[in-house]
Copies of this chain bind each other. A is one copy, B any other.
Amino acid sequence: MPLGQRPGDKSESRYCGVETEFHDDMPHLLTESLSGGFDFIVAPLIDPSYRPSCMTNGGSGSSVLPVAASDLILSPSQWSSHVVGKISSWIDLDSDDEKVRLDSEITLKQEIAWASHLSLQACILPPPRRASCGNYAKCVNQILQSTNNMQLWLRVPLQKSEPMDDDSANANSDFSGGSMFDSWEWWNSFRLLCEHHSQLCVVLDILSSLPSNNSVGRWFGEPVRAAVIYTNSFLTNARGYPCLSKRHQKLITEFFNHSVQIVISGSLLHDISGESIKALPANDDDSHLEVIPPRHALRPYLDYVAYLYQRMDPLPEQERFELGYRDFLQSPLQPLMDNLEAQTYETFEKDIVKYSQYQRAVCKALIDRVPDENASTKITVLMVVGAGRGPLVRASLQSLDVLRIKVIILQAAEETARKLKVYAVEKNPNAVITLHSLVKLEGWEDIVTIISSDMRCWNAPEKADILVSELLGSFGDNELSPECLDGAQRFLKADGISIPSSYTSFIQPVTATKLYNDVKSHKDLAHFETAYVVKLHRVARLAPCQPVFTFTHPEYSKKSNERYKKLCFEIPSDSGSAVVHGFAGYFDATLYKDVHLGIEPSTATPNMFSWFPIFFPLRTPLFVATGSPLEVHFWRCSSTSKVWYEWCVTSPTTSPVHNSNGRSYWVGL
C-alpha cells in the first residue's frame, strides 16, 4: 500500500519496494511482501547459479532456463504491477575471461527476454564490475534497440571520491575504484554509449555515508527511478528503532519530491519487541495492519520511510497547479506576431502578485512625479502599452486608491490624492473589445482612453509622463519588449518614466536528461536550436546564474538592441564532473526603483506564476570535467523582420554556433 496520502502528490514515490533473494516460491514471496506493506518486490528471475556454458557442456540435454517461477504462477497484472526483475548480479560483460564474458552476455539477453515475456515494467541491471564497461553498455544498448516498453534501470552506488567500504557489499559489486571513483561518471559513460536511451534509467544504492550535496545534486537531472536503502545504513534511535541521519532524511525527502521510489534491502538489524510497535511515529491508518498476523521482518524500516513521507508538507497550491507542466517543453509565445487567445489572457490575469508589484511601482512613480502640493492640479498622463484585456490599467488605477488610502491614514489633505489620465494601447482587436466592456463596467470612461493600435505606429495626441508595459518573456527581452518600447518611447516625455525601467536576462548550465530526450525525440536539428518555456523540475542546476543581456528604458543612445555576451561558469569542484544538456534562462525586471519582479531563482518574486523558465538546449550533451571552466557565448541578433538568439560553448570543448541566422527559432517583429 502507498506510504501515505500527501495532498496533490500523484507520483510514484508513494510506493515502496523490497529487495528479495532468489526464491522459487514467487507467490509466497509476493504475498508476504505485499501483506507486509510493501508495494512491489525487486526479485531475481533466474537461479543465480545458472551458467549457460555449463548447461550445454555438462547438461542432460535439458536447456530449460532455471526461472524463479513460470509465467502462469502469477497473473499478468501481478507480474507487471508488483515485480521488478533483478538481473543476475554475477554477470561481468567486461571480464578478460572470454568464457565469463560470453556467459554473461547470453544470460543478460535471456533474462531480459524472459522479463519482457512477463511484461515487467522494469529490470534492474547490476552495477558494472569494472571502471571500463564498454561491452556491458554495448550489449545493453543492443537490447534497448529491440525491447518493448520495459525500462532497464542501471544500479549504481551513490558514491564519489572514496573507496567502497563494506556498506556496498549488498550492491554485489566487486569494483575496487581508486580514490577518484565517482559513480556518476560510470552512469554518464554508460548512458552516453547507449545514446541517452529513454528507457535506460538509474537505481541508486544509498550507502551509509553520502557524498557532498553538490555531488548528489547532479542526480536530480538524471532519470533516477529508485533508491535502495540498506538496513545497515539505518541508525538506531534511543528506543531501539531504526532511523536515518539528518542528511539521509533530507535526501529521501528530495527523492520523494522527484518521483523516486524507495526500495528497502537487507535483513532485520533492529530488534524491536512487539510491545513497542504502538510507539512508532507512524500514521493512524496503519493501525489496521495489526490484524494481519505475520509481520514482515523489514516492517520497521518501511514504517520509518512512511513516516518521512507523511511528515512532508503538502504541496503548495501553486506547485499543485503546475504539476502537469513539470518538465514539459512549450514553445515560447509570439505575442507580437500572433494575437493571444482569451484563455491565455485569463490565465495570466490571475497572477495577483505580478499586478500588485506593478501597482506598487506606479504608486512610487506617481509620488515622485507629482509633489503633494501639485497633486490637485497636475494630471499625470499614464499610457499602458500592450494593455491586453486591462489588468495593468486596473493596477494603475488601483494605485490611485492606494494613494487615497494613504492620504486618509496620514490625515493629509484630500487634495494630495493624484489625478490620472490613462491611455490603454492595444494591438489585438479582440482584446480591445474586452477593454471597452471593462472600462464601461468599471465606470472609467472619463479617465481611460482606449487606443486600438500597435504602439510602434500610434500617433499619440500628447506625451506620457509614465509608460507602463508588461511585454516581458521568460528571458526578459525574448518577447521583444525592447523593440516595442523603442517604438513607444516617441510619446514619452523627455523626463518621463518607463515601468519597467530595465530588465536583465540570466542563464545557468543544467543537467536535464528528460528535456534533452524530449528535444531529441523530434529527430531534427531545428528542435535543438529552439528555446522552450518549461517548468523545470528534474533538473540539476550546476552553477549560480549569471546575467546575460540588460535593456534600459527609455533608451536615447540609439544603441542597437543586438547584444553579445561571453560568460564563464565554474561548477563547484565538489560536484565532480557533470554533463550540461543546455541552459536554464530567467529574467529580473526593475519596475521602478526598488520595486522589481522576476524569476531568477536567487531573487525570484514569491508566488508569481506568469513565467516558467526558458531552456536553451545544446545539440550534444557537454561533458565538463571537474574544475574545467565552462565558457558560453550568447547573442541577441535582429533583422528587419525578426529577432533571434544564437548560442555556443567554447570551453571545455567547442560546440557549433546554434541557430545561425535564426534558421530554427526566431521571434517575429
Contacts and interface: CB of A to CB of B under 8 A. Distances in A.
A497 interface: no
B653 A623 contact: yes
A648 B138 contact: yes
A72 to B, nearest CB: 30
Interface stretch (A322-330, A586-594, A654-662): A654-662
B194 A656 contact: yes
A132 B193 contact: no
A217 interface: no
A440 interface: no
Contacts of A132: 566, 631, 650
Nearest to A632: B134
Given A194-B656, A564-B135, A189 B145 contact: no
Contacts of A560: 102
A130 to B, nearest CB: 11
Contact of A134 (B146, B637, B650, B661): B650
A517 to B, nearest CB: 13
Given A138-B646, A195-B657, A657-B137, A663 B620 contact: no
A436 interface: no
Contacts of A194: 656-657
Given A141-B657, A193-B656, 4 more contacts: A141-B656, A142-B660, A192-B656, A194-B656
A623 B566 CA distance: 22
A22 interface: no
A188 interface: yes
Interface string A186-205: 00110011110000000000
Given A145-B661, A146-B661, A660-B141, A135 B633 contact: yes
Interface of A: 101-102, 132, 134-135, 137-138, 141-142, 145-146, 188-189, 192-195, 560, 564, 566, 620, 623, 631, 633, 635, 637, 646, 648, 650, 653-657, 660-661, 663
A145 B648 contact: no
A102 B137 CA distance: 49
Contacts of A661: 142, 145-146
A628 to B, nearest CB: 11
Nearest to A189: B654
A25 to B, nearest CB: 37
Contact of A633 (B134, B631, B660): B134
A195 B660 CA distance: 10
A195 B657 CA distance: 7
Contact of A192 (B141, B564, B654, B660): B654
9 closest Cβ contacts across the A-B interface? Answer: A195-B656, A192-B654, A134-B633, A189-B654, A141-B657, A145-B661, A138-B657, A141-B660, A193-B657
A132 B637 CA distance: 20
A188 B138 contact: no
A146 B660 CA distance: 10
A637 B102 CA distance: 13
Contacts of A137: 657
A178 to B, nearest CB: 16
Nearest to A654: B192
Contacts of A188: 654
14 contacts: A132-B631, A134-B633, A134-B648, A135-B564, A137-B657, A138-B633, A138-B635, A141-B656, A142-B660, A145-B661, A188-B654, A193-B648, A193-B656, A623-B653
A311 B633 CA distance: 50
A566 B660 contact: no
Nearest to A562: B102
A663 B650 CA distance: 33
Contact of A566 (B134, B146, B646, B656): B134
Interface centre among A101, A135, A138, A194 (most CB of B within 10 A): A138
A660 B637 CA distance: 40
Nearest to A188: B654
Interface centre among A145, A655, A657 (most CB of B within 10 A): A657
A663 B134 contact: no
A96 to B, nearest CB: 10
A620 B188 CA distance: 17
Contacts of A101: 564
Contacts of A564: 101, 135
B189 A650 contact: yes
Contacts of A663: 145
A633 B631 CA distance: 31
A314 B163 CA distance: 64
Contacts of A134: 566, 633, 648, 650
A101 B565 CA distance: 13
Contacts of A650: 132, 134, 189, 193
A137 B194 CA distance: 32
A108 to B, nearest CB: 14
A560 to B, nearest CB: 8
